[in-house]
Amino acid sequence: MIDLHKYSAIMVAGFKQELVYRLDYFFSLVFRILTALVAIFVWITVFRTTGASSIGGLTPDVLYAYFFIANAISIFTINDTVASNMQDDIQSGNITTSVVRPVKYPTLIFFNALANNFVGLLTVLIPFMIIIILVAHVSITPVTLSLFILEIITAYLITSALYFIIGSLAVYLVNIWGIISVADSLYLLLGGGVIPLILFPGWASQILLLLPSQLSVYTPAATLLGIISPSAAIGYLFAGVVWAVVLVVLAALWWKKVSQNITSVGG
């Protein structure tokens, strides 16, 4: 019970922090959505040029809905908050005080970031999803919805662990903005945020579907839109869970090594 209190306090602080920058946050969301629009415009043109009714098994409606949903999901599942907060803490030196607090640093960072992302979830993702689902006449079943939610949660854990490892690189490399932004783009690409994984050439999509990134964008969107069947989705979810466990353990071990270095960095 005591722990819960502590964590909710951390989350509220993160919540407040997010809203302090609400204008900045709001506009960054706007541009993320606009980026989805770019893909949609391109595909509209592609379909018109090709004149086919479907490409790679995907009809235009499904494809457009895919891009909106994929980008909306990615706002929550591909979030570099963990890494950028860590970069901030390490650069400012706050990390040395954070490490000695009663709450373990990884936990602190995780819940703080969760709070930040929660705001995006509530204010953008959920309303957005509802709109898309209504407009695109997507049929949702309890099965697909629950699979979707589980996939999102697992994906969030995966990216938190990954960005945590990336964030800790700031101890060695000081300025990791470049790495963070490339990680964002790479993850989005590999996750199917730019092109649905199913459109990649056979050998490529097979590999991509084995990576942890698939769960962050493609699988949840595809599950919801019926591009992949529930049974296939369960398979991907399971693979994702395995990844989540591996990465969280890796992050914990890595952190143990890194935290020993922290006090020796800086003046």
Partner 1 sequence: MENYAIEVKDVSKGFKTFELRRSGSFFHRLWRKRSWKQALSNVSFRVKEGEIVALLGRNGSGKSTLVKILSGILHPDSGSVRVLGFEPWKDRIKLAARLGVVLGAHSQLFWNISARDSFEFMKGVYSINEREYSQRLKYYLKVLSLGEVFNRQVRSLSLGEQMKCNFVASILHKPKIVFLDEPTIGVDLPSKIALRNAVLDLRAREGTTFILTTHIVEDITMAERVILLNNGSIVFDGSRKQLESMFGDKKHVELRLEEGSAVDFRRYGKLIEKSGDVVKIEVNKSTLKNQRFLRMLNDKSVLDYRVAEPGLNFVLTKFYAKMDRKR
Partner 2 sequence: MTSNRLAQSIRFFFLAQRYYWKDFLVYRAQAVVWALYSLINFLFSYVAITVIYNVSSGISGWSYFQMLFLVSTASLVFGTINYVLSPDWINQLMRRGGMDTRLIRPYGRATIYLSAEGSLSSIVSAFGAFVVLIYSAFRLGLGPAPFIGYLLLLAIGTVTLTLMLLMLIVAAYVVVRGSSAVSRMLSFMSQASSYPLPVYGIVGQLIFTLVIPIGVASYYPSELVLTSVGALTLAVVLLVSVAISTVSYLGFNRLMRHYTSGGG
Positions in the binding site for partner 1 (CB under 8 A):
15-16, 19-20, 22, 174, 267
Q: List the single partner that 27 binds among partner 2, partner 1, none, CB under 5 to 8 Å by kind.
A: partner 2
Please tell me the distance from the alpha carbon of residue 159 to that of residue 212, in angstroms, as a whole number.
Answer: 9
Please tell me the distance from the alpha carbon of residue 167 to that of residue 162, in angstroms, as a whole number.
Answer: 9
Please tell me the distance from the alpha carbon of residue 214 to that of residue 204, in angstroms, as a whole number.
Answer: 12
CB of 82 to partner 1, least distance (A): 22
Residue with tokens 């922090």: 17
Binding mask 180-219 for partner 2 (x = CB under 8 A): -xxx-xx--x----xx---xxx------------------
Rounded to the nearest angstrom, the gap between the alpha carbon of residue 51 and the centroid of all alpha carbons in its chain is: 34
Regarding 266 and contact with partner 2 (CB under 8 A), the answer is no
CB of 8 to partner 1, least distance (A): 13
3-state secondary structure (DSSP) of residue 15:
helix
Can you tell me which of 92, 97, 231, 260 binds partner 2, judged by CB under 8 A? 92
Helices (H), 93-169: 94-99, 105-120, 126-135, 142-168
Among the listed ranges 32-40, 137-145, 227-235, 250-258, the one in contact with partner 2 (CB under 8 A) is 32-40
Helices (H), the chain: 2-20, 22-50, 60-77, 81-92, 94-99, 105-120, 126-135, 142-168, 170-173, 177-191, 202-208, 218-225, 230-262
CB of 5 to partner 1, least distance (A): 17
Q: List the single partner that 92 binds among partner 2, partner 1, none, CB under 5 to 8 Å by kind.
A: partner 2
CB of 261 to partner 1, least distance (A): 14
CB 171 within 8 A of CB 261: yes
Shorter beta-carbon distance to partner 1: residue 17 or 259: 17
- The token duo for 234 is 């369960």
Residues contributing to the site for partner 2 (CB under 8 A): 21, 23-28, 30-32, 34-35, 38, 41-42, 44-50, 52, 55-56, 84, 88, 91-92, 169, 172-173, 175, 177-179, 181-183, 185-186, 189, 194-195, 199-201
